[in-house]
Each structure stands twice: as structure tokens, then as C-alpha cells.
Amino acid sequence: MLGILYVCHGSRDLAAIAEVQDFIALVMNEVDVSFQECCFLELAQPDIDQGIAKLIEKGVTKIAVIPVLLLSAGHYYIDIPRKLEANKEKYPNISFAYGKPLGVQDRLIDILVDRINETGVPINHQAKILLVGRGSTYPETKVDIERLAKMLSEKIHFKNVNYCFLAACKPSFAEEFALSLKGNYSQVWVVPYLWFTGFLMNDLQKTIVTHKDVKKQIILSKQLGSHPNIKEALKDRVYETVQSLSFIRG
């Protein structure tokens, strides 16, 4: 019997948890599998152990573990696998398949374009756009965000798109934002490459408010959120992972 476990990052921000749960509920409603659970890697309940236990209590013998992550980094390579290995030892008769993060996809760039357009503010020729990622010590995170910035630049036909990070790697958002305010730009766009709301989005909003008296137009677009493209992207990861489980007997 098949079950699906969605592993989300987690947050102390209740609004972020609610947004995650609402989004995963939308995905669950469109995935034709009877047993599905949402859990969190940290900072919220249920955790991974509890999510797996819930599925097994319902009679599930095969579990597709879906990381609800944009890019590959420490959570994907270390934290979630560590939990899975412990559960494999605890439940030797249960088969597990581990999915992939969404990664770099053109349809996710389309979400960024929609979020920019939703502001109702046209990009002028003296603008600077900052694509802001969460950040990671893993080098591929920086490579991926750099690729995404280039893809966004090509999609909107605007050259001045830079990338930066909120933590763990350079260039930092704080540095790039400060340079942008000093530069010869009439507009500074802050475009977050974040899936859900939470403290990081709140910090970006506070930064914008703090600099509201600057003689430049500063525009913050929304997080990726529950856009149809990202819902379809996650569903595709579910189907891929379920397909890999179909080759396991039992």
C-alpha cells in the first residue's frame, strides 16, 4: 500500500505554517493516492518521524518521501536522509523512495515574472533587479541562483538582474541592497526566490519600510507561494518518486 510524505522546512511563523499546509492540501487533492501526510523538518509538528509513523499506522508499506524544497542543499543532502536512514532501521519492512527538490525550471521563472507583473509597477530602464535566494554553504546553490537570475533576465529582456542571498553565501542581500541604493538607479526591485512567507520575507519587508524615505522607488514582489506552476512542479516530483517505488516488490 502506497503513502506519500511531504517534508516541508518548518517555521516558527504561524502564517508560514498555515500557508504551507494550505498549499500541500491543494496538491494532495490532485494526487490520486489515498494516504498522504505533511510533516516538517524542524520548528513545527508533526516531524518526519511522526509523519512516517502516521502512514505506517494506516497500513502503508511503501512511502514516497517528497522534499518540499526549491533547491538542493544541506536539508536535502544531510538532514532529511539522516532521518530516513533512522526510520529504515526502525521499519525494515517498509520501502522508501526519496524524491528531488524542484531545482532550476523555466516554469518557475514564469512565476517570478507573474509576481513582478502583479505589483502593477512597470520596470523602467534605470532599474536594478535583485533576485534574492535563501542561501546555503553548498556551492551548487549559488550556481543555481545565478542560473535563475540569468533566466529571469532573458525572460523579461532586461539585463540588469543581479542575485544575492539572505544567509550563508555571498553576495549578501544587505550588501547588494546597500550598493543598489547608492547606485544610479531610479528603481530597485527585490524579487524573493522563496517558496512561502515567514521570517525571511518579513525581514525583506522590514528592510523596504526602513528605507521608504530613500529617493528611489523600491519594489518588493511576493514569494512564489501557491502559484499553479509550482503546484504542477511539485506534483511532477511526486509522480517521479511514486514511479520509482513501483519497481520495488512488496
135: left (phi over 0), alpha (psi -120 to 50) or beta: left
pLDDT of residue 250: 47
Closest CA to 52 of 87, 93, 97: 87
138: left (phi over 0), alpha (psi -120 to 50) or beta: beta
What's the chain's average pLDDT? 94
- Cβ–Cβ under 8 Å, residues 232 and 107: yes
- Cβ–Cβ under 8 Å, residues 46 and 40: yes
Is residue 196 packed enough to be buried (19+ CB in 10 Å), middle (13-18) or exposed (0-12)?
buried
DSSP strands (E only) in the chain: 2-8, 35-40, 62-67, 95-98, 127-133, 161-165, 187-192, 217-220
Please write the tens of the pLDDT for every residue from 53-74. Answer: 999 999 999 999 999 999 998 8
Indicate whether 211 pLDDT > 90. no
| Domains of the chain (ranges, CATH numbers) | 2-102+227-245 (3.40.50.1400), 106-220 (3.40.50.1400)
**What is the sign, positive or negative, of the torsion defined by CA atoms of 75, 78, 81, 82?**
negative
How far, in Å, CA of 167 to CA of 164, rounded?
9
The pTM of the full predicted model, rounded to 2 decimals, is: 0.94
Indicate whether 246 pLDDT > 80. no
